[in-house]
Amino acid sequence: MTTAKLDATGAAAVEAARAALIDEAPAEDVGEHLGAQAEGDRVVTHLFECTRRGYRGWRWSVTVTRIPRAKQVTVDEVVLIPGEDAIIAPAWVPYRERVQPGDLSAGDLLPVEEDDPRLVPTYSFGDDPLSSDEKTQIRHVAQELYFGRVRTLSVEGRDLAAERWYDGPGGPSSPLAQAAPAMCTSCGFLIQLSGPLAELFGVCANGSANDDGRVVSFDHGCGAHSEATLPKRARPQALPPHVWDTVDDLVEL
């Protein structure tokens, strides 16, 4: 990449750049000239401090250019840009990407998109144009055949769920699983699923375990495993009788 040479005529046009800037912005918001930089052949950007309240670190940028052999510059653009220490808003993230599990409150609605790739139609109306009555009839038939759901999980939706569960707290890499005496696959509290996800996951049904009611991978585990035992030295010691039966003891004497 070649660096453009700073054009001397453009670099000297500080007052022309300032005049163009004051045409666009209030004069009291324009501060010191901060420097000039080459943008290309005979294209120079002048930077001015922005003194407007709330815009600390922002700079006015005025780009000027000229045709070959001309002594006058013309103004390309005037913009306000953030400097390195400028206060700027964080990058916009659409709300759908910001919503996390646990964010929904009672009464909140979070509809999915019509073309959400995680879902596929359970049944189709085919390609023939149908009236709404005919579509209603098809829906009734589908319900009678137990296709009660209009859409079901797609392969992509299933794979995403499997990845999320496996990499999450119910997977093998959670601290709980790493310190477990045995895996869920050998635990009596594991409820089996059906379908493709059943090859890797089940549901924990141990009311004393952290994962009770949650999906866990077979290679997850925890200290509440049904076959977990305490090491001998950690087992509770048998205590002596807490009452001294003086009556019986005295009779025997």
Site for ligand SF4 contains 171 (CB under 6 A): no
Q: Which two tokens stand for residue 201?
A: 């996951």
Q: Which is nearer to ligand SF4, 80 or 182 (CB)?
A: 182
Query: What does residue 16 show for φ and ψ, rounded to 5 degrees?
Result: -65, -40
Q: How far apart are the first and last CA of the chain?
A: 108
Q: Which two tokens stand for residue 221?
A: 């585990």
Calculate the alpha carbon distances from 193 to 128, 177, 204, 227 in Å.
38, 20, 11, 21
Site for ligand SF4 contains 187 (CB under 6 A): yes
What's the CA gap between 75 and 62, in Å, rounded?
A: 7
| 187 contacts: CB under 8 Å, gap ≥ 6 | 204, 206, 221, 225, 226, 227
- CB of 222: closest distance to ligand SF4 in angstroms? 3
Which listed range, 69-77, 118-126, 201-209, 241-249, lies at the site for ligand SF4 (CB under 6 A)? 201-209
Closest CA to 75 of 24, 31, 20: 20
User: Which of 61, 65, 206, 217 touches ligand SF4 (CB under 6 A)?
Assistant: 206
Binding residues with ligand SF4: total (CB under 6 A): 14
**Parallel, antiparallel, or unpaired: how do β-strands 151-153 and 215-217 relate?**
unpaired
- CB of 208: closest distance to ligand SF4 in angstroms? 8
Q: Which is nearer to ligand SF4, 77 or 212 (CB)?
A: 212
User: Which of 174, 209, 215, 217 touches ligand SF4 (CB under 6 A)?
Assistant: 209
Site for ligand SF4 contains 166 (CB under 6 A): no
Site for ligand SF4 contains 215 (CB under 6 A): no
Give residues in contact with ligand SF4 (CB under 6 A).
Answer: 184, 187, 189-190, 204, 206, 209, 211, 216, 220-222, 224-225
